[in-house]
Amino acid sequence: MEKKFMKYLLFGVFTFVFSVAFVGCGEDYDSDIDDLKKADVATLQAAKEAVAAAQTALQSQITGVETTAAAKAVAEAKTAALTEVATQLDKLKVGDYSLDEVAEIVGQVEALGLESLSNTVAELKELLDDESTIEGIKNVAALKLQVDALEKYLEGYKDGDPTVKEEIEALRVLIASGIELTPEQATKIVEQLLESGLGELITLQVEGLITGISIVKVEGITSSDKDLIYTIVPAAADDYTFGEGLGGAIKFEKNKVRPEAATLDVILKVTPANATLEGKHVYLVNSKGNPDINGYITPSDPVRYNDLLTRAADATSTGLYKVSFTVNSTYSPDTKDAFKLLTYKDNNNNGKIDSGEGSSIAFAIAVDGKPLSGSEIERPVLSEFETAIIIREPTITYTTPDVVEVDDNKLISFNLDKSGKTTDGFPVKNIKNNYSNNSGIEYIWKSDKSANNGNPQNLSAKQLANDNDARYLKEAYQVSLKEGFDVRITGANFVSGKALAFYIDLDWANAGSKKALWEAAIKSNGITGIDKVYSLADAKPIAPISIISESLENETIGFRLFVVNHDGTLVDPDGRAFYVLCGEKQSDVPNLGTISVTTNIYDNVPTRTSAVWSNEVVIPWNDPKVVAAGIATNASNVFGYKLSFEDDALKDINSIIAYADVTGGGAGKYLAGIPEENDDYAKLESTSTAWSTSLSSKKIIIGKGTSTSRYDPIIVPSKLEEGKTYKGTLQLLGANEKVLGEFTINLKKVLPTKFPTFNGTGNPLGGFVDPTEDKARISPFAGGKRFFVPIKGVYDAVHGEDTGGHIINVNSSGIYFDDGSATAGTVSKFKHAAYSIKDVFKGIDRRNIDGGGDVDYRNVIFSLSARNSSNVETTYVGEKVSAGKVVSDILVKISDINAVKENTEYRGSIEYDYGYVLSGEETYKVPYDNSVFTVLFTPDNLYRIGVQGLQPQIEYTYNAAEADKAKDVAKFKFTPTIKRRLSESIFTDINQTTYDNVSRSEFEKYYDLQTFAGAIKLQIIAAKSGDNKSIPGGYPYFSFPITLI
3-state secondary structure string across 956-974: EECCCCHHHHHHCEEEEEC
H or E stretch covering 414: strand 414-418
Q: Hey, is 670 helix, strand or coil?
A: strand
| Same domain membership, residue 600 and residue 561 | no
Number of domains in the chain: 6
Boundary-marking domain end, from 328, 357, 392: 392
| Same domain membership, residue 833 and residue 701 | no
More confident call, 947 vs 809: 947
User: 614, 599 in Cβ contact below 8 A?
Assistant: yes
Per-residue confidence (pLDDT) for residue 483, from 0 to 100: 92
- The Cα-based distances of 740 to 392, 624, 628 in angstroms read 55, 15, 11
Boundary-marking domain end, from 905, 936, 967: 936
Given a cut of 70, is residue 627 above it in pLDDT?
yes
| Same domain membership, residue 155 and residue 48 | yes
Instruction: Taking residues 990-1012, report their average pLDDT.
Output: 77
Per-residue confidence (pLDDT) for residue 707, from 0 to 100: 54
Given a cut of 50, is residue 28 above it in pLDDT?
no
Per-residue confidence (pLDDT) for residue 690, from 0 to 100: 41
H or E stretch covering 237: none
Q: Write out the residue range of the structural domain in which residue 458 sits.
A: 414-582
| Same domain membership, residue 619 and residue 546 | no
Does any domain span residue 753? no
| Cα–Cα distance for residue pair 243/259, rounded to 1 Å | 18
| Cα–Cα distance for residue pair 519/672, rounded to 1 Å | 46
The lowest-confidence range among 3-17, 59-73, 483-497, 628-642 is 3-17
| Same domain membership, residue 221 and residue 355 | yes
| Same domain membership, residue 197 and residue 137 | yes
Given a cut of 70, is residue 1014 above it in pLDDT?
no
| Same domain membership, residue 248 and residue 353 | yes
More confident call, 501 vs 141: 501
Does any domain span residue 671? yes
Given a cut of 80, is residue 663 above it in pLDDT?
no
| Cα–Cα distance for residue pair 1000/977, rounded to 1 Å | 9
| Cα–Cα distance for residue pair 203/74, rounded to 1 Å | 7
| Same domain membership, residue 194 and residue 236 | no
pTM of model > 0.75: no
User: 880, 892 in Cβ contact below 8 A?
Assistant: no
User: 154, 178 in Cβ contact below 8 A?
Assistant: no
User: 253, 350 in Cβ contact below 8 A?
Assistant: no
| Same domain membership, residue 576 and residue 473 | yes
Does any domain span residue 755? no
- The Cα-based distances of 487 to 491, 530, 661, 734 in angstroms read 12, 11, 45, 32
Does any domain span residue 206? no
Q: pLDDT of 539-562, one tens digit each?
A: 889 999 999 999 999 999 999 999
| Same domain membership, residue 135 and residue 227 | no
Instruction: Taking residues 234-256, report their average pLDDT.
Output: 94
Instruction: Taking residues 738-742, report their average pLDDT.
Output: 82
Per-residue confidence (pLDDT) for residue 24, from 0 to 100: 34
Does any domain span residue 207? no
Does any domain span residue 984? yes
- Residue 439 amino acid letter: S
Q: pLDDT of 329-346, one tens digit each?
A: 999 999 999 999 999 988
Given a cut of 90, is residue 439 above it in pLDDT?
no
The lowest-confidence range among 72-81, 173-182, 938-947 is 173-182
Given a cut of 50, is residue 1034 above it in pLDDT?
no
Question: What does the DSSP assignment read for 980-1005?
Answer: EEE-TTTBTT--TT--EE--HHHHHH
Does any domain span residue 339? yes
- The Cα-based distances of 937 to 468, 776, 787, 891, 940 in angstroms read 73, 11, 8, 14, 9
Boundary-marking domain end, from 936, 959, 990: 936
Given a cut of 60, is residue 1033 above it in pLDDT?
no
Q: Average pLDDT of the chain?
A: 76
As a whole-number percent, the residues of the chain with pLDDT over 70 amount to: 69
Given a cut of 50, is residue 311 above it in pLDDT?
no
| Cα–Cα distance for residue pair 1003/777, rounded to 1 Å | 12
Does any domain span residue 405? no
| Same domain membership, residue 424 and residue 371 | no
| Same domain membership, residue 744 and residue 863 | no
